[in-house]
Chain A
Amino acid sequence: MIRISKRLELPPYLQWLIRASSIIFALIIMSVFLLALGHNPIKVYSAMVTGSFGTFFRFRKTIELMIPLSITALGILVAFKMKFWNIGAEGQILMGAFAATFFALKFAYLPRPLLLILMAIGGSLIGGLWALIPAFFKVKYATNETLFTLMLNYIAIKWIIYLQYGPWKDPQQAGFPKIPDFSVNATLPTLGGIHVGWLILIALVIIAHIVMNKTKFGFEIAVIGESKNTAKYAGMSVNKVILSTLFISGALGGLVGMMQTSGVHGTLSTSITGGIGYTAIIVTWLAHVKVHLIPVIGLLFAVLIQGAFFIQTAFQIPHSVADILQGMILFSALGSEFFINYRLHLVKNRRAKRVVK
């Protein structure tokens, strides 16, 4: 018989050892699968790494994935820290991208710095407001934020598609439904060959770390996450904090939307997110809702995604295999938490006997 009992707290190095081995475990299980497909797993894994870092172009692609993943994850983190399950980052990104595109298309004549700032502010603002909707209903009517944020994603997606097929359709595309490309003025400049989003990411990580760990606001978010009753008891304005936090959460998503349109794609379409809004949830979770781990896990997932693109062409391995690997890593990483919190005992049953009266 196996019995499960709660562990005392493990020392941190052991915890991380268990987590690291869970990823290795996922890679090993995946190897079996790759072998079954007729590939050498070691070659595939190393190709994923060279595919992500082998040339500057690949490196740029990887970083361009890491930036939106990490910033979106930061946005999700502030909400998750408060146990507000915002899974609407996808929609917040798209709405931010919509606002940025609005300025890019309608104010293309403005000087570049001014236009970019307008796009960034507009994107953040609309992204924030989009997240504020479920927050308002949660505060006012105690609605379920998980469903609410998720549903808003679909509205955002359809809204972008509507714009693409309707009012914002590029007349020069001869009927092909596409929103026009941005002018140079509306394009994010590069620094060291990669769009300046990486600088913004570094700044945001530092700011987020300070806000979450050192400020009263961060403390309030953490307390509300633990218990709203306690927060009220301690004199916090719970609703105000929830609303501001969600605005920030959505604004970060909106900013990502702006950066994806302006820095990467140069136009707006529903494909600018590439599922980042969902993958970032995994990133946040695997980073244990801790700011300093977000860029690390963000990079790991960027490598997974970018590496998957590479092996797809190099080995003709379907891209969905990479999705399976992602799922595998998530599965075993989350599963490993069980072994961090609980112990298994094998119990030898000593003459178990039931008394019959």
Chain B
Amino acid sequence: MNKVIELKGIVKKFGTVYANDQISFDLSVGEVHALLGENGAGKSSLMNVLAGVYQPDDGEIIMNGERVTIPSPRHSIDMGIGMIHQHFKLVESHTVLENMIAGVKSRLFINYKKLGKELTELSQRYGLQINPFSELNMLSVAEKQRVEILKVLYRGAKILILDEPTAVLTPQETARLFDIINSLKSDGHSIIFISHKLDEVIEISDRITVLRKGKHIDTLKNEHLSPRSLTNKMVGKAVELKIERTKTDYQDILLEVNNLFVFRPDNSQALKGLTFKLKQGEILGVAGVAGSGQKELCEAIAGLQDKITGEILFKSENICGKSPRDIINLGISMSFVPEDRLGMGLVAGMDLVDNVLLKAYLKQPGIFVNRQEAQKEALNLIEKLNIDTPSVHTKVSKLSGGNIQKVLLGREIELQPELIITAYPARGLDIGSAHKIYDLLNEQKIKGNGIIFIGEDLDVLLKIADKIMVLCDGEVTGIVDPDLVTREDLGYMMAGKKLERGEVG
């Protein structure tokens, strides 16, 4: 088959770290080629080379048989490469159409009608179902993603790079995306599909390239592949992918939330009357499409939301509306691993010691801070969780995402809190570290501590949680027993449909 792109021996260094070390990769016309690898394997770096964001330190890029350089994102777009980033690059307050023309060199006047027609046609051709005149902030996440696809198509992309596109989608929305990918493919587009989810990769791609720690491991035709063999290639060793659900006998209610409303700064409702209970020694999984109120739920319990009503009873003490300081003063030990690691959980510009100190200093006696104590704890964390850092005095912003994650999770779990609220604890971690975290959470559970586990990987939630609460647009669509439901069921619930069975209240 015709190769549209060939990457040969691409090297990309950041200081002394090799993000890409002699990686070769090629893409044929009308092919879906998956790039598989753990976080930090070098997938994004490689694609940023194609997108013109990074310049490779060595290696060749060959497009349609000609050697090229891609000095800027603008060149990349001109060459027909369209990247759909994980975080959408769209202007929320504008219409779809306005988003299309932003940044495109155009004439002085715009014929909205004609352009709208063109876009509608383009959209229909690939089943995108996007109305060019709708405002962005009225669209769902899945629709915004399709707007991104429409945008790169409109700009003439023949090669589409999709960076972890399914991370924000329900299973049903994912299926729909795959239909779109297939119709693009049959129309002669070539697609690079980045993911770390094995089932999806096996479902959609023609070929699979596995990267590990910046190196090219293998490129395989997608025939008779099993998730297991791929995992082993991805991780580099045979791994036991088992998550235990330990049973505990605790009966006492640890946390009871009644009719909880949370309002956003613009007074719209982020949570609409949530009610649930959490027992000691229990893991409550929370599922939902990103932005369904998970963040507000966590922050409301942790005392970080201002406009809230309802009841949050921690061992029958109402902490609704109390600040984190108040909660600490009540003697409640609660840990919170927020989704925004560097903006909330950690201080990016401070070293490990000070970041450990952050959660310890209030309990230290006197007016002085005790950094020796914090340093000891930091060293303990480094050893226990294999944190890769030059020293305890390295700023956390200089660490990789996975290591930042470990610092935060480690600190919060080591506090031995009665309640742990954790948002996406495994995000950014390699499989080994993720399982280490699951083990640590299970350990806490056995000790009788309660855990609220906001998850994105439904398979993990189904395995680790004792019950799963599904959120859709700030409302609970159900609290179910993971043994009685499937991931598809959860998907339906995430889309707002009630389920008749499995309800545990």
Contacts and interface: CB of A to CB of B under 8 A. Distances in A.
Given A233-B302, A354-B68, A216 B398 contact: no
Nearest to B394: A9
B383 interface: no
A219 B367 contact: no
Contacts of A21: none
A144 interface: no
B369 A235 contact: no
A6 to B, nearest CB: 9
Nearest to A237: B325
Interface string A265-280: 0000000000000000
B453 interface: no
B366 to A, nearest CB: 8
B80 A353 contact: no
B78 interface: yes
A140 interface: no
Given A223-B347, A235-B325, A229 B340 contact: yes
A220 to B, nearest CB: 8
Interface in A81-125: none
A190 interface: no
A232 interface: yes
Nearest to A345: B55
Contact of B66 (A215, A223, A227, A353): A353
A351 B69 CA distance: 8
Given A226-B349, A354-B78, A215 B368 contact: yes
Contacts of B364: 216
A233 B345 contact: yes
Which of under 10, 10 to 19, 20 to 34, or 35 or more describes the interface residues of A? 20 to 34
Interface string A338-353: 0000000001011111
A229 B298 CA distance: 14
B347 A350 contact: no
Which of under 10, 10 to 19, 20 to 34, or 35 or more describes the interface residues of B? 35 or more
Given A1-B71, A219-B354, A352-B69, A227 B344 contact: yes
B282 to A, nearest CB: 24
Contacts of B362: 216, 234-235
Interface string B328-366: 100000001010100111111110001001110110100
B74 to A, nearest CB: 10
B80 A216 contact: no
Contacts of A236: 325
A4 to B, nearest CB: 11
Given A215-B367, A226-B349, A235-B362, A354 B79 contact: yes
Given A223-B358, A227-B343, A230-B343, A353 B323 contact: no
Interface string B303-328: 01000000000000000000111011
Nearest to A3: B55
B369 A349 contact: no
Contacts of B251: none
B12 to A, nearest CB: 11
B369 A215 contact: yes
Contacts of A216: 361-362, 364, 367-369
B376 interface: no
B80 A219 contact: no
B55 A347 contact: yes
A156 B325 CA distance: 37
Nearest to B329: A235
A65 B80 CA distance: 64
Given A227-B343, A227-B347, A354-B79, A233 B336 contact: yes
Contact of A232 (B78, B80, B324, B350): B324
A229 B328 CA distance: 17
Contact of A353 (B69, B327, B343, B367): B69
B15 interface: yes
A355 interface: yes
A233 B335 CA distance: 10
B67 interface: yes
Given A215-B367, A217-B367, A229 B344 contact: yes
A9 B324 contact: no
A233 B324 contact: yes
A232 B323 contact: yes
B15 A8 contact: yes
Nearest to A1: B71
A231 B347 CA distance: 9
B339 to A, nearest CB: 12
Given A215-B369, A355-B68, A232 B79 contact: no
Among A235, A237, A347, A354: residue with most chain B CB under 10 A:
A235
Contact of A222 (B15, B71, B338, B350): B350
Contacts of B304: 229, 232-233
A226 B395 CA distance: 12
Nearest to A222: B350
B328 A235 contact: yes
Nearest to B63: A355
A229 B324 CA distance: 11
B247 interface: no
Given A1-B71, A219-B361, A235-B323, 12 more contacts: A214-B369, A216-B367, A217-B367, A219-B354, A226-B350, A227-B347, A230-B347, A230-B358, A232-B323, A235-B327, A237-B323, A354-B68
Q: Which 10 A-B residue pairs are closest in the complex by CB-CB distance?
A: A8-B15, A235-B324, A235-B325, A226-B347, A229-B344, A234-B358, A235-B328, A352-B69, A233-B344, A226-B349
16 contacts: A8-B16, A216-B361, A216-B367, A217-B367, A223-B347, A226-B349, A227-B344, A229-B344, A230-B358, A234-B358, A237-B323, A349-B69, A352-B71, A353-B69, A355-B68, A357-B80
